[in-house]
Amino acid sequence: MTDIVEHHRLFIGGAWVEPSGSDTIEIVSPVTEQVVGRVPHATPADVDKAVAVAREAFDHGPWPRMTLAERIEVVTRIKDALAARHQELAELVTLQNGSPMLFSVRGQALSAVGVFGVALAAAAGFAEEDERQGTGGPVLVRREPVGVVAAITPWNVPQLTIAGKLAPALLAGCTIILKPSPETPLDALWLADLCAEAGVPDGVLSVLPADRETGAHLVSHPGIDKVAFTGSVGAGKAIMAAAAAHLTRVSLELGGKSAAILLDDADLAVAIPAIVGGTCAANSGQACVALTRVLVPAARYDEVAAVLTAAFAKLKVGDPADPTTVVGPMVTKKQQERNLDYIRIGQEEGAKLLTGGGVPKDLSRGWYVEPTLFGDVTNDMQIAREEIFGPVVCLIRYEDEEEAVTIANDSEFGLSGAVFGADSERATAVARRVRTGTITVNGFRLDLAAPFGGYKNSGIGREFGPEGLAGYFEYKSINLPAPTQA
């Protein structure tokens, strides 16, 4: 794709309509630093219109009143269309945020297909109501859609995070207002057309590209029943505070500073590729689940440092459209500067720069950062405590297993992690002790069939699988008449 992708209208309730304002959002390629897209900037007035349409569709429209089987048919068509057009979607995502093409295909487009598939499987076995025996008689427990959902998604994995909200919300019978990141709105508007073609009724879906000001109006709107958000901790806290005014339900998938624990018997042939895949190769390090703290036994520190340094130094950095590229650019100039600032801070704190540490010399254009590995890091350093969101990784020594668990848990985050060891039972026992929402033994994996979310500042609630679907329902108990005695 080389031409500028332009949209002149907003998608509100299934129709392309003129925006209320005249401002536009320009999408700039992180590779060429040139404008590659342009879309309308939604205003609070557009939010009000979208909420009114969604409210009407939920309160009086057909979607929540269809059978679950009927909604499954529509959502299946969305999944199938995504699968058929996944290469087109991957190219659009790479155009916007610079994800390496291999990751855009697998981690962006096909992962979104996978989330829809898992949600559909959960819905197929879902009971909208069941009768149970209560203490005073029979009780009918119903699961009813939560209502109008505001879904706010980030720029790093836009389609994966959209799918984690849209698929279960649609299956539950909710109506949805999607606000994609202003850095990456093109794929969300592309998806809007796909959903309409699949048969999503009028009023059910709106897509409003906008900045935080318009987003703040959306999440504080009294017509919203639930906010589903993926993004930064600061934004998540602001959303939770705004939602409190109306007791709006929230689910928040926030940041991470995840630990990979190498036990003393870890096989580096297994651990090193997984750590590379869970850091620099995971969307160029721009992933909330990235294994950015690598905890190494002191006795094996030099060995691990040498092997991981060599692995990082060999990674190909460059044009994300090249299928051999592993690390692409940061999504914006600001994000590149953020990474470089943290690299400077790490050196000032006394960490040892083992490889990387700057902008690749052969890439003068584009917002690139070299894969960077710090050694001699202590867990109290800023680079070990704050989420950098780029290809920057810390090596931290520990003396024994107890200290490794303590360091892993000494974080305000708790989203992901990994444990590596030759004895898988021992490694699994260590994994049980780490306070994190997802952790992998001898690998790095985000399993779309399992609940995903975090402890502590990493969020509230879970996405994916049956647990993700359950988050879009309210529970109603209907106390039935007690049987009369014969």
Residue 356 buriedness (CB in 10 A; 0-12 / 13-18 / 19+): buried
Characterize 9-31 residue by residue with b for buried, 16 or more Cβ atoms within 10 angstroms of its Cβ, and e for exposed: ebbbbbeebebeeeeebebbbbb
Residue 277 buriedness (CB in 10 A; 0-12 / 13-18 / 19+): middle
Is 253 assigned a catalytic role? yes
Size of the chain, expressed as the number of residues it contains: 486
Catalytic residue among 183, 288, 394, 463: 288
* H or E, element range at 298: none
Q: Which tokens hold the place of 152?
A: 């706010």
Catalytic residue among 183, 253, 370, 387: 253
Q: How far apart are CA 486 and CA 484, in angstroms?
A: 6
Q: Which runs of consecutive H residues, i.e. helices, occur in 376-483?
A: 382-385, 401-409, 424-433, 465-470
Q: How far apart are CA 258 and CA 285, in angstroms?
A: 12
Q: What are 392's strand-pairing partners?
A: 372
Are the CB atoms for 253 and 288 separated by under 8 Å?
yes
Is 73 assigned a catalytic role? no
Residues known to be catalytic: 253, 288
